[in-house]
Structure 1
């Protein structure tokens, strides 16, 4: 479970987060919508312990991140907008390296191929250099790393930005598989269609505040768009 409890974050005189409270339970996909500067990435960075809250606290599986940063990191995997991999290495070589860093274990080629296949990367592409990969293929290697780590929570920052519709749909299906395994997923996005299609819950952020927390089942695409535009105009 991912929890933000009355969290605020100040950068000098600028309040990036203002008393935000949200929970992402195992088996939920929480899509966080908002304009640039709304505080979405700041919240992700708090869970990753890249920064500390000014007040309030963030917890992963009941443990306070600020008190137990190493232990909480073992339970999460992070996939940024641009997955950073070594371009001169192949997909399977990148997975072997990062999976070993994350788990302290060595994986056989068969295990690595199985992880890449589960993440949706064609087996024929596994030995190709990552420098030749599309963004969608790189994202799939990132998912494979998360699978190797057996992460209990996934944090994603604009994962479908720049993907074509087919790749975005495939990525949504991968998140749904993670949800079905009981993973708690928190993802930021500008894409209302992706949020409605993928999320079990949807949050809307504006100027550091969580102004809406909704069940996606209660909304049509049109309802979500109307509500989002109303909040942005207010």
Structure 2
């Protein structure tokens, strides 16, 4: 577990700024992800919504269109992100994610190594669970999937990305060399063994 830094705290009072990623809530079965861009507009059946009207408002605000319709602009929490993300792979939902986090006893300050980023549903919840002082190391063999979720971040949460699956074993050993421990051994040791087995298998593959 990483040492606790008292200067790092989570903030839940941040206002919407230009460039933020937000969740536009129209109804319980109709939500979408939008990046706030100054001067841009959102058009839907409720009217035209100017992004400029969102900037400076707190997350969760009810905003009006030019013809009186309304939507809610929400923060991209892990729960909402799981509902709106693009399904590039089969994902875990909140019920399963909560079991994983509690069973592995993942708490602020933990280091987590995730094999298979996928669509990023579990990754975002892991990042929140270890915030504000922990780290999530996640890698995926599929370069396009890994690149597509790099933009996802949770405010004030730190996540570190392993460069590629081929460096996973090396990066893990560097953590051990730096004496940055995992607070849930022997699971981390099991991960190390699995990575090395796969690595050695690849090395022994013929041309």
Say which structure is richer in helix.
Answer: 1
TM-score by length of 1: 0.25
Larger radius of gyration: 2
TM-score by length of 2: 0.27
